[in-house]
Amino acid sequence: MSKRNLYLQTVPVEEAVEKYSAELAKVLRADTETKAAGDCLGQVTAAAVFARCCSPLFNDAAMDGIAVRAADTRTASEQEPLLLTEGKDYIEIDTGDPIRLPYDAVIMAEDVLVEDESHVRITGAAPAWQHVRPIGEDIIEGEMLIPSGHLLRPVDIAAAIAGGNAELEVFRRPRVAIIPTGDEIVSGLDGKEGAAASGSIIDSNSYMFSGMVSEAGGLAQIYAPVEDDYEKLKTAVLAAAEESDVVIVNAGSSAGREDYTVHVLREIGRVIVHGVAIKPGKPVILAIAGGKPVIGLPGYPVSAYIDFENFVLPVLNMLTGRQGTNRKTVKAVLSKRLVSSLKHREYVRVRVGKVKDRFVASPLARGAGAAMSLVKADGFCVIPQNSEGFEAGEEVEIELYKSPQELGHTLVSIGSHDLILDVIADKISLSSSHVGSMGGLLALQRGETTIAPTHLLNMETGEYNVSYIRELFPGRKMALIKGVTRIQGIMVKKGNPLGIKGVADLTRCRYVNRQKGAGTRVLLDYKLAQLGIDPAAIDGYDKEATTHMAVAALVAREDIDAGMGIESAARAMGLDFIEVGPEEYDFALAQESLALPEVQDFIAVLKSEDFHRRLAKMGGYGWERSGEIVIID
């Protein structure tokens, strides 16, 4: 077996940032440039901007009307209007026109009686400087308009220009080179087809970095992927350091066999930090090569994102002159326990929604590979390095992406998963966590969700959902919003090669189950009990997936033969489907929640024709009672 960098040393996050910043401060200089003021939006002033002229440039008219000599108008009155002659006693002016001596006052057009083309009468005296906007009223020559270190907004640029500054001195946008590495990488621009052709990993990280660089005020350039080859990587990094201000190498930052990055950087420069006590994101490399910051980011998208925010952004801010921005925070109740290690600071993505008068944070998938957890997240819960985590129900601080107002409009749903939740989330703002039917009802009990999607069969009566709610919420006024009926069945590979006809045949295949508490699993157990089959007889009964689509995806591949789920999931993955029976997928909630606007919007979607058309297209659904309300007292 080949050599590896098995034992990464890790340093605390702050220490890593400080150590790297201190080293960079010795070699990095923020370049400035002088350019047309109109092109400086989002850049930071490198010097204070002073007014080179006054604005207005001269005394000017604050009203439309006529300019007069105040002293000449003293005798005018309602009784004896004064006749004035154009060119001699007055000139016509519009707002903004210069008022020059001998004229020193303006009479509004509304107060002038027009005699003929070149004569008017006025009915009152005009005090000196009436309706005259004095020179420099807005901007005085020599005054400071914008301090240095200021992020330029449209109004700043306009004021600088109004003060006679055609050009501004700003910090130059840093050029950031992004080098994707790895034999297995194909460009994200090739899409599914490119990846399918080579059986490789689609490079999506580079595009995330590129967007983050743009948002931070830099100019990103994505380089062609470099294969796992020491010399080629070295050449690429040296070239990028020559052409750019910052270099990002992705991935190749961990301790794997082919992770040459750290060795290359040690040869051509200095590695300041390799390994930080952060999760996800531990194997980051902070180095200096060719006099430029070179940062090795891990390949997992969430690790890459968190390391970019913690280690690349501060470097970009040194160059752009921007201030680091503090995220908005909000206090929220954790919907489930979060255990973490004392070894690192952990960033857990959460969805946040308002349930009654408090915010509830539901942790999303914690894996470093869970890119969708970044898309779905409303914010981060940060577990400090010296903490073992937080208990369910504990109030924690959430670093938000969104404003608290936006969160207030999100409908929180915790419970069973169905594809229709995606369809609904395309219409309204929905925070949906998938913990199975029973998990959802328990969250509803704890006040952590507004609605709980559920499909739980009463094995004695054959009725769905109602008896469970009655039992779990004694004495509380509850309701059920009817969702859809759907066909549950067994998904098998196209053509059904093992000839599976029903639940009894599951004992002779490789199966994948749903997690405990999931309605689909309850249905399987019910059917197995009816048939007198021991669950242990099924190979894979203990192998769990948490959604219908996850089961379908597994069945579509070589190593799994069957799984239970809904017809739409089987269809979506091109699988065959053996019907087991229909079931009712509904939404439990407190009666008082029915009045909430987000719940009303939700019901409206369930009843809409567009929704029913989508269901018809997906297949396997009935919508006769969708949106109907069942009161459970």
Cα–Cα dist 61/73, whole Å:
17
In the bound complex, what is the minimum distance in angstroms from residue 629's beta carbon to a copy of itself? 26
CB contact at 8 A, 432 and 441: no
Structure tokens at 269: 């420069």
Coil, strand or helix at 447: coil
Least separation, in Å, of the C-beta of 458 and a copy of itself? 31
Cα distances from 277 to residues 24, 254, 331, 592, in angstroms, run 21, 14, 25, 46
Integer Cα distance of 483 and 490 in angstroms: 22
Euclidean distance between CA atoms 23 and 495, whole angstroms: 63
- CA neighbor of 348 nearest in space, from 327, 332, 364: 364
Q: Which of 324, 321, 325 is nearest to 46 (CA)?
A: 321
Nearer of residues 272 and 364 to a copy of itself, judged by Cβ:
364
Residue type, 182: G
Which residue carries 């092109």 as its tokens?
Answer: 39
- 378 vs 448, which CB is nearer to a copy of itself? 378
Question: 34 or 530, CB closer to a copy of itself?
Answer: 34
Give dist(CA 444, CA 194) in Å, integer: 44
Q: Which is nearer to a copy of itself, 45 or 465 (CB)?
A: 45
Separation of alpha carbons 486 and 503, rounded Å:
18
Q: Phi and psi (nearest 5°) for 339? A: -100, 135
Strand residue runs (E) in 42-174: 49-50, 60-61, 65-68, 82-85, 90-93, 105-108, 112-116, 119-122, 132-133, 144-146, 167-171
Whole-number minimum distance, CB 316 to a copy of itself, in Å? 14
Q: Which is nearer to a copy of itself, 30 or 162 (CB)?
A: 162
Q: What is the DSSP letter of 139?
A: B
- Residue 618 Cβ vs a copy of itself, minimum distance, rounded to whole Å: 10
Q: For the sheet containing 90-93, what is the strand order?
A: 90-93, 65-68, 105-108
Instruction: Give min distance, CB of 248 to a copy of itself, in A.
Output: 13
Answer yes or no: are the C-beta atoms of 253 and 297 closer than 8 Å: yes
Considering the complex, state which of residue 70 and residue 466 has its C-beta at the smaller distance from a copy of itself: 70
- Residue 404, SS3 per DSSP: helix
Residues 35 and 284: beta-carbon distance below 8 Å: no
Q: Side chain identity at 298, as an amino acid letter? A: P
CA atoms within 13 A on the CB side of 285: 30
Nearest residue (CB) to a copy of itself, 269 versus 379: 379
Minimum CB distance to a copy of itself, residue 318 (Å): 19
Query: Closest approach of Cβ 94 to a copy of itself, in Å?
Result: 4
Give the nearer residue to a copy of itself in terms of CB position, either 46 or 503: 46
Cβ nearer to a copy of itself, comparing 168 with 355: 168
Minimum distance of a copy of itself from residue 212's CB (angstroms): 5
- In terms of Cα–Cα distance, which of 511, 488, 515 is closest to 500? 511
Least CB distance from residue 469 to a copy of itself, whole Å?
A: 28
Closer to a copy of itself by CB, 255 or 630: give it: 255
Of 575, 416, 560, whose CA–CA distance to 486 is shortest? 416
Structure tokens at 105: 């006052």
> Whose CA is closest to 592, among 481, 465, 479, 466?
479
Residue showing tokens 């160059």: 319
Residue pointed to by tokens 């005020």? 217
The least distance separating a copy of itself from the CB of residue 177, rounded to whole angstroms, comes to 15
Question: In the complex with a copy of itself, which residue's Cβ is closer, 4 or 270?
Answer: 4
Residue 71 CB, shortest distance to a copy of itself, in Å, is 12
Amino acid at 439: G
For 110, which DSSP code?
G
Choose between 162 and 632: whose C-beta lies nearer to a copy of itself.
162
- The nearest distance, CB 223 to a copy of itself, in angstroms, is 13
Rounded to a whole number of angstroms, the minimum distance from the CB of residue 628 to a copy of itself is 25
Question: DSSP class of residue 310?
Answer: I
Rounded to 5 degrees, what are φ and ψ at 207? -75, -30
- C-beta of 202 vs 594, nearer to a copy of itself: 202
Q: Which is nearer to a copy of itself, 169 or 628 (CB)?
A: 169
State the minimum distance, in angstroms, from the CB of residue 553 to a copy of itself.
4
